[in-house]
Structure 1
Amino acid sequence: MKLKSQLFLPVFLLLVLSSCSTKYVTPGGDVKISELADEDISKVLSNKPTAEFPVTIAVARIQAPRYSNYRYSQNENQANNGNFTMILTRDANEEKQIQEIGKLQGIKQISPFNRLLLPYNYRTIKDLRLAAAKMKAQMLLVYTFDTEFSVDAKNFGPQNVFALGYLKNKEVKVRTTSSAALFDVQTEYLYGLAEATDEVEKKSNIWKENQDVDNLRIESENKSFEKLSKEIAKMWDGIYLEYKK
């Protein structure tokens, strides 16, 4: 019996230490879409809408330069060559919500970007408009996530690191604000903006895997994007009434 206890103790300590030493890195930041617009303000103000309904819309999710999160660190799901990171794959919930947007009156098709159509080094909305034009799209929908972690009263911004052992018996909250802008592909005319925020909160136990924490991020971003899609639908109703011919 004593021998079993002696063997068990080192194994137990190893498990505890390994769980404490496992690190979770918070996701990268969002992109201020307005900062990617044409620098010539007078030109922006003089832009006119050109799209004729029903329209084809190209969709792009963009994040801060060198963006990463736990899931994307395991796979190559983004293109990162310029002033922002292009996320080239979406999870099932994003795909579902975008398909629902595509059913709105006045939309013929809504499509994601193809890696082959992207310029090598993109810096502004103009570069994305060029890629959208190659897809024969008349409008460009751009969206981004701003996801923040807080543990009890301490906030963790983008690309922060904490040990999973630090989370034991603490309140972990993940808050996501998703933002979107709809542009005219030919002129960069801004048709409208939409934004939505949601959050999830959970009392932690002994989380041993990064995925346990990352599931909260995914849930928060999914809920936020679901709200955003409804805001986009409201925005689109106004756009369609105003600009249809």
Structure 2
Amino acid sequence: MNRRILVSLLALGLAILQGCATYTTPAAGVNMATLGDDDIVELMSLEPAAQFPARLAVVRVQSAGYRSLTADSYGTGSFSVVTTRDVESEDDFKRIAALDDIAAVAPITRLILPQELNTIRDLRLGAARLKADLLLIYTLDTRFNVESTSLGPLSAVTLGFLPNKEAFVSATTSALLVDVRTGFIYGAAESSARESQRTSMWNSEAAIDNARQLAERNSFKQFVGEFETLWKATLAEHVAASEPEPIAPAAPEPTPEPAVKPPLPPTLDPQPGTYTF
């Protein structure tokens, strides 16, 4: 009898320990406005200098100290860089590389970045080392919600004791297209996606993180379509404007009409004879 009680108590203890396990939501994305300079006069004086076809460098930024179950970040300062492509697919980057007037696409790695990351200029230095003309900076901001309650970044979600309510994960991909040489911003693009589930499915770290990855993956895939639109608008404004207008061929000179010769006087009959007037 005592043995049965002991076994029951052990089983109850294991259930409690499993139920008290938690999943910590990842840190937030980066507010792109905080990456630039605050001097409005300086910002307004920036001019585009990229050459087309352009070499494009790509980098993902997140808040300082970002980590998830599938990726860690690099760098200290105002933000960090994620070099692991955990939600971005190879097909996504092939779509970008296939766009008109893109010569090549290259990821920025931690080997060419400074340890301290505070502004866009720190990222432009890395892109310059790759001889890139343009820099695509993007971030993923992911939110976890149960019904109308937002759990927020770095929230601990207790597993096993959530009621059976509607839960969803929303992810937003935001990006800037920047001129590496001057810092001129050509434009911005953004796309969001949402993955809905029942909280009863959130019974493990892997289950919740799978929902995060699915939302982020769909968000980035939709973002590629938004970037295609931004890229076409960039080419229409900056490439067409920089190309010289074709020189119209000179009109051919009119062919001079032949001069009209005066009529010849009547020829006198060479035969001898008498002429009467």
For the criterion TM > 0.5, the same-fold answer is yes
CA distance in 2, matches of 1:194, 1:206: 33
CA distance in 2, matches of 1:4, 1:173: 44
Once the two structures are TM-superposed, the CA of residue 163 in structure 1 deviates from its matched residue by: 0.6
Residue segments in structure 1 that go unaligned for 5+ positions in a row: none
Structure 1 length-normalised TM: 0.91
Answer yes or no: is 1:217 the counterpart of 2:212: yes
CA contact (8 A) 2:174 2:189 kept: yes
CA contact (8 A) 1:53 1:106 kept: yes
The number of aligned residues is 240
Once the two structures are TM-superposed, the CA of residue 86 in structure 1 deviates from its matched residue by: 0.4
Answer yes or no: is 1:91 the counterpart of 2:86: yes
Once the two structures are TM-superposed, the CA of residue 201 in structure 1 deviates from its matched residue by: 0.6
CA distance in 2, matches of 1:81, 1:96: 31
CA distance in 1, matches of 2:90, 2:138: 13
Cα RMSD over matched residues? 1.9
Which range moved further: 5-14 or 193-202? Answer: 5-14
Residue identity opposite 1:46 in structure 2: S
SS class of match (2:88) = helix
Answer yes or no: is 1:159 the counterpart of 2:159: no
What fraction of aligned residue pairs are identical, expressed as a percent? 35
SS class of match (1:60) = strand
CA distance in 2, matches of 1:209, 1:78: 24
CA contact (8 A) 2:22 2:159 kept: yes
Structure 2 length-normalised TM: 0.81
Higher relative contact order by CA 8 Å / sep ≥ 6: 1 or 2?
A: 1
Determine the structure 1 residue equivalent to 2:96. 101
CA deviations 1:1-50 (Å, max 9, x no partner) are x7896465335323421221111101101111121112322111111111
SS class of match (1:38) = coil
Structure 1 runs (4+) greater than 6 angstroms displaced: none
SS class of match (2:161) = helix
Query: Which of the pair is proportionally richer in helix?
Result: 1
Residue segments in structure 2 that go unaligned for 5+ positions in a row: 244-277
Larger Rg: 2
Determine the structure 2 residue equivalent to 1:14. 13
Residue identity opposite 1:40 in structure 2: D
Residue identity opposite 1:57 in structure 2: L
In structure 2, relative to structure 1, the CA distance for the partners of 1:165 and 1:187 (3 Å cut) is same
Answer yes or no: is 1:124 the counterpart of 2:119: yes
